[in-house]
Copies of this chain bind each other. A is one copy, B any other.
Amino acid sequence: MYDAKAMASEGLLRIGELSRRTGVKPDLLRAWERRYGLLEPERSAGGFRLYAPASVDRIEAMQEQLARGLSAAEAARLALLEGSEPTRSASIDVLVAELGDALDDYDEPRAQAVFDRMLSAFSVDAVLRDAVLPFLHELGLRWERGEVSVAQEHFASSLIRGRLLGLARGWGGGAGPVAILACPPGEEHDLGLLALGIVLHDRGWRVAYLGPDTPMETLAGAATRVGANVIVLAAVSAKRFEEAAGALKHLATRHRIALAGPGATEALAKRTGALRLAGGPVDEAERLAADRR
């Protein structure tokens, strides 16, 4: 459930209540603690034992082993082993895995906490390149394999979008070159584009973000209005670009265009006169930023 597992602060039990919940008499609980270190409860100011709710699990594991006929010492050893949690060496891979778990469980606070930890330990670039984008990619694959529900996918996207937009705050400011970011009509996947914008701003660019499903006709006006140095369009599906190819070609006569995402093929770029950003958002943003015009 949502709350039971949520927090370490979910409510500490005194020995009586633990006894009631497990059916093991307090004296015996103390004996197991003394003899096998089965539990190491906190203590109240006055010395009372205070057990975490998870202790119930360990006691039950102990009971199960006993029921199988093991000796108490042996049972305790196994029960201890079962719950042993490796302390987190916060490599980013581990954090990505934890992020995935949290999102699969619709556990928003935990997912946010993982994000916080990632951002406090790694640079924004690294978090985007090595955590967020791979995670999204993996999420897509799992979705195709039917391993995640649409609800889970939506939940994850929405949370990640919130964090990326948070990182993006203020990205229209400064004095650097200006980029307009948008997805072509019909294209709704904009998270990669968001990541690209964040990195671009980190490299000194200003960003005007129009987001998913943006009609081509409106781009020229916006580009002129903000004095854009480049218009970046991103799509997962090449079809979106194809459908907009005519408008693209026309737009490219007046503005510098870059196409990004899996849908941006070399052929299309050549045909429309646009620059193709074939790599990941972070790398391509960096490349784009490097040869500013």
Question: In the complex, what residues of B have CB within 8 A of residue A168's CB?
Answer: 162
By beta carbon, the residue of chain B nearest A116 is: B126
B154 & A11 in contact (Cβ 8 Å cutoff): no
- A245 part of interface (Cβ distance < 8 Å): no
| A21 x B165 contact (CB < 8 A) | no
Residue from B85, B87, B207, B225 within 8 A of A175 (CB atoms): B85
Q: Identify which of B61, B120, B218 contacts A149 (C-beta below 8 A).
A: B218
- Residue A253, interface by CB 8 Å: no
Q: How many copies altogether? A: 3
Contacts A69-B17, A86-B8, A211-B157; is A174 near B204 (CB within 8 Å)? yes
User: Across the interface, do A126 and B122 meet the contact criterion of CB distance under 8 Å?
Assistant: no
Interface residues on A, range: 35 or more
A287, B165: Cα distance in complex, Å: 26
Please give the distance in Å from A244's CB to the nearest CB on chain B: 14
CA A210 to CA B21, docked complex, whole Å: 37
C-alpha spacing A285/B24, complex, angstroms: 31
| Interface-side segment among A26-34, A103-111, A235-243, A268-276 | A103-111
Which of A105, A157, A168 has most chain B Cβ within 10 Å? Answer: A168
A75–B113 CA distance with the chains assembled, in angstroms: 25
Question: Which chain B residues lie closer than 8 Å to A208 at the CB level?
Answer: 106, 108, 155
Is A1 part of the contact surface with B, judged by Cβ < 8 Å? yes
Contacts of A205 in B (CB 8 A): 86, 174, 204
Taken together as a complex, chains A and B put the C-alpha atoms of A78 and B174 apart, in Å, by 11
Contact of A222 among B149, B173, B188, B227 (CB under 8 A): B149
- 14 further contact pairs, Cβ within 8 A, besides A1-B227, A86-B176, A91-B119: A7-B77, A10-B78, A11-B65, A11-B74, A13-B74, A17-B70, A86-B174, A86-B201, A108-B207, A109-B172, A121-B167, A149-B222, A174-B202, A175-B203
* 18 residue pairs from A and B, CB less than 8 Å apart: A1-B227, A2-B178, A8-B86, A11-B77, A17-B68, A81-B175, A86-B204, A87-B173, A87-B174, A88-B202, A109-B125, A109-B172, A119-B121, A121-B167, A124-B169, A150-B217, A162-B168, A175-B292
